[in-house]
Amino acid sequence: MIVFGGCSSKTDKNSTNTVKNNKQETTASFKGQKLNLYVAAGLKKPMDEVINIFEKETGAKVVPSYGASGGLYTQIKEGQPCDLYFSADWLYVDKLKADGKLAEGQKFLQDNLVLAVSQTGKNKVKSVTDLIKPGVVVGVCDLQAPVGTYSEKAFKTMNIWDKLVSSGNIKARPATVNQLAVMIGKNELDAGLIYSSVAKANNLEYVEEIPQKYTGEIIFGSAIIKGGNEKLAKEFMKIANNNIDKFEKYGWKAVKE
């Protein structure tokens, strides 16, 4: 029994070393390569952390572009160099598939909307219905950002969109959810609908969570772009999935497929 145990330990050690060496060889093969990464703006904080891990493990260089998912999709469709794309709306991953540009897609994260309020707005706004009251300054993201689409859908489903528009209270249509969050944080706006994760990342208070029956399912997806550096993109996705906690600490939930 003692001899068997000794042999097993040696075999296990050799096996572990082989796996470790194979991993080192694989990551070493990416050294010096470049990954063109397009990312929905709301993912910036956790994605920056994952990028740092990826670059240290692989020796590759990431060139990130953060922006509205719709605008980033348009750039990819028009042929701008992109290897991997993270969208705040699965719709754009489906569009890339229809365009013949999708090599591989993954439903990555889930989120929900909240009604975030500024320090000057929290005494005016306690719920979505307060947004139509006189003197309330509201921000709604542009439709190029999925959060704008989700917001308009929620307002329409709640039957307050027309009232909100006619009230004249919408004073800003920021291009990204991060821009909307910054404006709320600076007291430039009283309130707006943003992702719960973005509210947490920006230390914003919120007074109401919006049920998905009003917004529909909010899925952040990833798309490996056909004809790009697909191997490097797959390696990034592997590292992103292995570090899902970087996203979860801001309030996202991993999609279980």
Residue 19 marked ligand-binding: no
Measure CA of the first residue to CA of the last residue in the chain; give whole Å: 44
CA-based nearest residue to 96, from 182, 221, 183, 254: 221
Sign of CA dihedral 44, 51, 97, 82: positive
Asked whether 175 and 144 are in contact (CB, 8 A), the reply is: yes
Query: Whose structure tokens read 């920056």?
Result: 48
Please tell me what DSSP assigns to residue 176: S
Structure tokens at 193: 């609908």
Residue 139 phi/psi, 5-degree rounding, is -120, 135
Residue 177 marked ligand-binding: yes
Residue 8 marked ligand-binding: no
Q: Annotated binding residues, as ranges?
A: 69, 177, 195
Q: Annotated binding residues for molybdate, as ranges?
A: 69, 177, 195
